[in-house]
Structure 1
Amino acid sequence: MAKTFKGIAQGLDLPPMVWLSDDFAAAPQPGIESLAALAEAGFRSILCNRPDEEVAPSENSAAMAAAAEAVGLGFAAIPVSHAPITPAMIAAQARAMDDLPGPYFAYCRAGFRSSVIWALTQAGRRPTSEIVGALERAGFALPGLRVQIEALAAGR
């Protein structure tokens, strides 16, 4: 994990987050008022994985995008529902990470969906053991996900 980047974030009013790689953190949805602190902490892009149906209009992806852009952050909305994560969702997340600058702060209701979709986007880009290990260190033991990651990696 990037010690210097995480060190910059210390002492700021940031939402609780899990670090999955040197440049990717997942967390519950922050309030709009936290976006300036995320920019100050060194994040360069926000990835919204929370569907608008789960939040009030004042916290939907359009409101979050406007607030993120106002403080100089890139923003992409890739809603991930509680149904299975689809290949289209994985492709959209990977595209956003390719197009937007990191470090990335991804959010959903609790950070779980953002963590899982990160893992699926990393299939074939990182060793499976590294991806699964990052999830386990974050507190997400998902042994069945290894098979999905390996299948995705084989198809890339």
Structure 2
Amino acid sequence: MELTRLSDHFATTAQISVDDLDAIKAQGFKAIICARPDGEGEDQPDFAEIAAAADEIGLTARYVPVDPTGATEADHAAFEKAMEGLSGSVLGYCRTGKRAGMLWQALQPAN
């Protein structure tokens, strides 16, 4: 699993599986956010499956599915809400990590 660190507390990666969750937790992540809609790929696990397994090991899991054509204002608002109350490092994922990263970038203050 290749991570792209966007800050000290947020990173992105491509699609994860239940088998990746222990390694994600071992790397210090406290939460995961899925930005990939269920059913987008044939080999993709459903978010509910990942969320249930994450909960079993103490990881918070949130779901903000974004269409591959791009995020809407509603997606950005949903991501902001999903980030509320999370402490510690968060790992966002989707097919490649790009949508999760774009959602996070949109929350950052303009320089």
Indicate yes or no: 2:72 matched with 1:65: no
2:24 is matched with 38
8 A Cα contact 1:52 1:61, kept in partner: yes
Q: Classify the secondary structure of the residue corresponding to 1:51.
A: coil
1:88 is matched with 74
Structure ranking higher on relative contact order (CA contacts 8 Å, 6+ apart): 2
8 A Cα contact 1:57 1:63, kept in partner: no
Structure 1 residue 19: Cα displacement: 0.4
2:83 is matched with 97
Structure 1 residue 102: Cα displacement: 2.8
The change in CA–CA distance for 1:62 and 1:56 in structure 2 (over 3 A counts) is: farther
TM-score (norm 1): 0.66
8 A Cα contact 2:30 2:60, kept in partner: yes
Report the structure, 1 or 2, having the larger helix content.
1
The partner residue of 2:9 within 1, 17, 23 is: 23
Aligned CA-pair RMSD = 1.6
Structure 1 residue 69: Cα displacement: 0.7
- Bigger Rg, which one: 1
Measured in 1, the distance between the counterparts of 2:73 and 2:65 equals 13
Q: Supply the AA of the counterpart residue of 2:59.
A: L
Structure 1 residue 29: Cα displacement: 1.1
TM-score (norm 2): 0.91
Q: Supply the AA of the counterpart residue of 1:107.
A: Y
8 A Cα contact 2:70 2:99, kept in partner: no
Q: Classify the secondary structure of the residue corresponding to 1:88.
A: helix
Structure 1 residue 56: Cα displacement: 4.5
Q: Note the residue ranges of structure 2 that are not aligned, 5 or more in a row.
A: none
Structure 1 residue 57: Cα displacement: 8.0
Structure 1 residue 28: Cα displacement: 0.1
The change in CA–CA distance for 1:65 and 1:57 in structure 2 (over 3 A counts) is: farther
1:5-154 to structure 2, matched below 5 A, reads 15-56=1-42, 59-122=45-108, 126=109, 128-129=110-111
